[in-house]
Amino acid sequence: MVRHPERPGWWTASVPAAPGARYGFALDGGPALPDPRSRRQPEGPDGPSAVVDHDAYDWRHAWRGRRLPGSVLYELHVGTFTREGTFDAAVERLPHLAALGVTHIELLPVCPFPGRHGWGYEGVSLWAVHEPYGGPDGLKRLVDAAHGHGLGVVLDVVHNHLGPSGNHLPAFGPYFTEAHQTPWGAAINLDGPGSDEVRAYLTGSALAFLRDYRLDGLRLDAVHALADTRAEHFLAALSRAVDALAAHTGRPLFLIAESDLNDPRTTAPRTAHGHGVHAQWNDDFHHALHTALTGESQGYYADFARDPFAALHKTLTGAFFHDGTYSSFRGRSHGRSLDAAKGAVPAHRFLAYAQTHDQIGNRALGDRLSGTGPGPGSGSGSGSGSDSGPGRLSPGRLACAAALVLLGPGTPMLFMGEEWGAGTPWQFFTDHTDPELAEAVRRGRRREFAAHGWA
């Protein structure tokens, strides 16, 4: 290999390889490591990479895309959406979703992670696709079939951390920095020495999924954990790159952020000094709706439980409940009013939902809204809104939740099974092969549950 004359830290070599050929990089005589930009990891994150020819796939459906305004999203986890837990099995369910009126499916992360089962947020190969789900071609078949049914496809991507097992990036460069800390440890290096290449790595991954898999959008996990002090925030740089790709392909492409900052800059246009992300999840609406229906008041619900219907009204009319108000959960004031964006953030830029993978799976029992009975202060009584037994929310209250989500000003999103009031628990799960790591996860979950009064 020879040093690249114009890109510090890059080494190049020309080696003939056919699609499917396995390869890796041995650094300074060490063991072969997978390619950081690997497009396929057939033996998992620690195995060799494999060459993929994306041009070889024969797309069956022409697709010009669907814009976000007027959409209805459906969040699903490929591994648990069907008994088989594969992309191909999910294809068989697409007619149901199209008939339901859904316009986009939103997939939880599909990048490779150790083991067979997991939420996907422990991904470590950010350009590849989890092999047990069906690998690169399996994802293409799902996207192609979805487009054939008139459904767009959004993919959840994780740029704020990598999983604790199978992460080989530190061997290749300064991808992480101790200058910032996150709940997962050292932060992704977005603003320190070498950060140009780190930002290019993440942006390139996002564009590759949108381009090579013909995805319609990306959901950006926990963008509040993207520590970046540079003049142009990484989110603004990413949205600029995605907008350029949309103009090049002639398809509408969008980014949806998960952010707990309640900062109008997230979705304000770049021309209005925002980051230009096209939409964001609105947890404030969820929390207000949840407390109004169930009466729960522990953890982050405490701020909304004082007057849940006033909180619900505020989130329906102004998106943010915390817009500079005091948060007892945080012990400080939080958020900023959308007025600061001077009308640049319309209502459709906020996703409205009664249930998500987080709001179900991060509960101790993984109980869905249908299995969460009204508690003290929920206002339960006679009629269609009364509770239908211990630990159950009535059909009337579930219908109320659906009406507010689907008919409110935000862009609606459902979680898989919500359309028929599924009561099956959906708990957090991983498949770590390291016993110490598995036990560390258990301890961490217990601490989190205790903090929310669920232990």
pLDDT of residue 432: 77
Chain centroid to CA 395: how far? 29
pTM for the model stands at 0.94
Residue 64's contacts (CB-CB under 8 Å, 6 or more residues apart) are 250, 251
Is pLDDT larger for residue 383 or for residue 415?
A: 415
CB atoms within 10 A of CB 299: 16
pLDDT 10s digits, 247-264: 999 999 999 999 999 999
d(CA 282, CA 306): 19
pLDDT of residue 372: 83
Where in the chain are the domains?
65-451
Question: Is the predicted pLDDT of residue 335 greater than 60, yes or no?
Answer: yes
Chain centroid to CA 445: how far? 20
pLDDT confidence bin for 1, thresholds 50/70/90:
confident
What is the SS3 assignment for 8-47? CCCEECCCCCCCCCEECEEHHHCCEECCCCCCCCCCCCCC
Question: Is the predicted pLDDT of residue 382 greater than 60, yes or no?
Answer: no
- Range 176-199 average pLDDT: 95
Question: Is the predicted pLDDT of residue 381 greater than 50, yes or no?
Answer: no
Chain centroid to CA 241: how far? 19
The average confidence (pLDDT) of the chain is: 92
Task: Tell me the catalytic residues.
Answer: 221, 258
Residue 83's contacts (CB-CB under 8 Å, 6 or more residues apart) are 89
Question: Is the predicted pLDDT of residue 208 greater than 80, yes or no?
Answer: yes
> Which of 289, 450, 407 has the alpha carbon at shortest distance from 359?
289
d(CA 17, CA 397): 59
CATH code matching the domain that covers 65-451, chosen among 3.20.20.80, 2.60.200.20, 3.40.50.300, 2.70.70.10: 3.20.20.80
d(CA 268, CA 135): 36
pLDDT of residue 449: 67
Is pLDDT larger for residue 5 or for residue 432?
A: 5
pLDDT of residue 184: 85
Question: Is the predicted pLDDT of residue 373 greater than 70, yes or no?
Answer: no
- Range 61-81 average pLDDT: 97
Q: Tokens at residue 16, please?
A: 């003939």
pLDDT 10s digits, 105-141: 999 999 999 999 999 999 999 999 999 999 999 999 9
Percent of the chain surpassing pLDDT 70: 94
Decide: 231 and 159 in contact? Cβ < 8 Å. no
pLDDT of residue 76: 99
pLDDT of residue 379: 36
pLDDT 10s digits, 426-453: 999 988 777 777 777 777 777 776 766 6
pLDDT of residue 158: 98
Is pLDDT larger for residue 4 or for residue 142?
A: 142
d(CA 174, CA 189): 7
Apex 288 CA angle, 285 and 293, nearest 5: 120
pLDDT of residue 341: 66
